[in-house]
Structure 1
Amino acid sequence: MVISKMNANFQSSWFGHPRGLFLLSGTELWECFSFYAMRAILILYLTDQTVNGGLGWTIQDALRLSAIYSALLCLTPVLGGWIADNYLGQRRSIIIGGILMAIGHFMLAVPNNMINLHVLQVFYVGLSFLIVGNGLFRPNIFTMVGALYREGDTRLDGAFTIFYMGINIGALLSGVIAGTASTYYNWKAGFLCAGIGMLISLFTQLLFANRYLGNIGIEPVAKKQRRTSDSNRKQPLTLIERDRLKAMVIMGLFVVIFWAGFNQADGLMNIYSQQHTDRMIGAFEVPAAWFQSLNPMFVIILAPLFAMLWRYLGDNEPSSPIKSAMGMLFLAVGFICMIGAVMQQDSDISVKASMWWLVAAYFFHTLGELCLSPIGLSLITKLAPLRLLSVTMGAWFSSSAIANYIAGFIGSHVDDAGPLTIFGGIAITAVIAGILFVMCSSTLVEWMHGAEKKAVRTQVKTDVQILSVVP
Structure 2
Amino acid sequence: MQELKPRPPASAGEMLGHPKGLYLLFGTEMWERLSYYGMRGIFVFYLTSAATAAVFGWQQMSQTELQSQALSYLGWYAMLVYLTPIVGGWVADNVWGQRRSIIFGGILMMFGQFSLGFPHKWLPDGTEIYFLWLGLALMIIGNGFFKPNISTMVGDLYEEGDKRRDTAFTIFYMGINIGSILGYLVVGWIGEKVNYQLGFIVAGIGMLLGVILQLLKSHHYLGEIGVKPSAKLGQKTNAADKHKPLTPEERDRIKVILILGLFTVVFWAGFEQAAGSMNLFAKYNTDLHIFGFEIPASWLQMVNPLFIIILAPIMASLWVGLGDREPNSPTKFSMGLIFLGLGFVSMCGAALQIGDSETIKASPWWLVLAYVFHTIGELCLSPIGLSMVTKLSPLRFVSLMMGLWFAFIGIANKGAAEIGKLVGENGPLETFGGVALAAIFAGILLFFLRNKLVDWMHGAEQEHTEIRPATKEEISITADHEGTPPRHFSAD
Give TM class, smaller chain.
over 0.9
1:195, distance to aligned residue in structure 2 (A): 0.5
Whole-Å Cα distance in 1 between the matches of residues 209 and 168 of structure 2?
22
Question: Which residue of the partner structure matches residue 172 of structure 1?
Answer: 181
Q: What is the one-letter code of the residue matched to 1:71?
A: M
Q: Could you report, residue by residue, the CA deviation over 1:205-249 in whole angstroms, capped at 9, with x for unpaired residues?
A: 111111111111111122568731524213221221111111111
For residues 159-198 of structure 1, the C-alpha deviation after alignment (integer angstroms, 9 at most, x for no partner) is 1111111100000111010011112210012101101110
TM-score (norm 1): 0.95
Paired position in structure 2 for 1:460? 472
How far has the Cα of 1:148 moved from its partner?
A: 1.2
Q: How much identity, in percent, do the aligned residues show?
A: 49
Residue 140 of structure 2, aligned match among 131, 135, 148? 131
Distance 1:420 1:6 in 2: 56
**Is 1:402 matched with 2:426?**
no
Q: 2:334·2:447 contact (CA, 8 Å) conserved in 1?
A: yes
Q: Which runs of 5+ in 2 are unaligned?
A: 1-5, 59-64, 484-492
Kindly report structure 1 stretches of 4+ aligned residues shifted beyond 4 Å: 4-7, 51-57, 223-226
* Pairs aligned (count): 467
Compute the displacement of 1:349 (Å).
2.1
The residue number in structure 1 matching 2:308 is 299
1:114 aligns with 2:122: yes
Cα distance change, pair 340–148 in 1 and its aligned pair in 2 (3 A): same
Contact 1:46/1:54 (CA < 8 Å) preserved in 2? no
Match of 1:217?
A: 226
Give the deviation of 1:467 after TM superposition.
2.4
Offset at residue 316 of structure 1 (A):
1.1
Change in 2 beyond 3 A, CA 1:462/1:215? same
Q: 2:320 & 2:293 partners in 1: Cα distance?
A: 42
Match in the other structure for 1:8? 10
In structure 1, runs of 5+ residues without a counterpart are none
AA partner of residue 35 (structure 1): Y
Contact 2:8 2:225 in 1 (8 A): no
Which is worse superposed, 388-397 or 458-467?
A: 458-467
Answer whether contact 1:5 1:214 (CA < 8 A) is retained. Answer: no
Q: Structure 1 stretch 240-249 or stretch 336-345: which is displaced more?
A: 240-249
Q: What TM-score does the superposition give when structure 2 sets the normalisation length?
A: 0.91
How far apart are residue 136 of structure 1 and its match?
0.6
1:45 aligns with 2:36: no
Does structure 1 residue 96 correspond to structure 2 residue 100? no
Q: Deviations over 1:239-268 (max 9, x none)?
A: 211111111111111011000000000000
For 1:231 and 1:223, the matched residues in 2 are separated by 21
Give the Cα–Cα distance (whole angstroms) in 2 for the partners of residues 282 and 210 of structure 1. 48
Per mean C-alpha deviation after superposition, the further-off stretch among 179-188 and 331-340 is 179-188
Distance of 1:249 and 1:116 partners within structure 2: 49
Shift of 1:293: 1.2
Q: Is 2:72 the counterpart of 1:64? A: yes
- Alignment partners' CA distance in 1, 2:243 and 2:188: 53
Structure 1 residue 282 displacement after superposition: 5.8
Give 2:490's aligned residue.
none
Contact persistence 1:53–1:187 (CA under 8 A): no
Matched, 1:237 2:258: no
Does the C-alpha gap of structure 1 residues 7 and 320 become closer, same or farther in structure 2, counting only changes over 3 Å?
closer
Alpha-carbon offset, residue 283 of structure 1: 5.0
Q: 1:15 to 1:35 in 2, by over 3 A?
A: same
Deviations along 1:437-464, one digit per CA (max 9) or x if unpaired, are 1101001111111111122131633431
Q: For 1:217 and 1:467, how far apart are their aligned partners in 2?
A: 25
Matched, 1:155 2:164: yes
Asked if 1:366 is matched to 2:375, the reply is: yes
Which amino acid in 1 is paired with 2:422? H
| Cα distance change, pair 231–162 in 1 and its aligned pair in 2 (3 A) | farther
CA distance in 2 between counterparts of 1:384 and 1:138 reads 21
Equivalences for 1:174-189 in 2 at 5 Å? 174-189=183-198
The root-mean-square deviation of aligned C-alpha atoms, in Å, is 1.9
Matched, 1:323 2:335: no
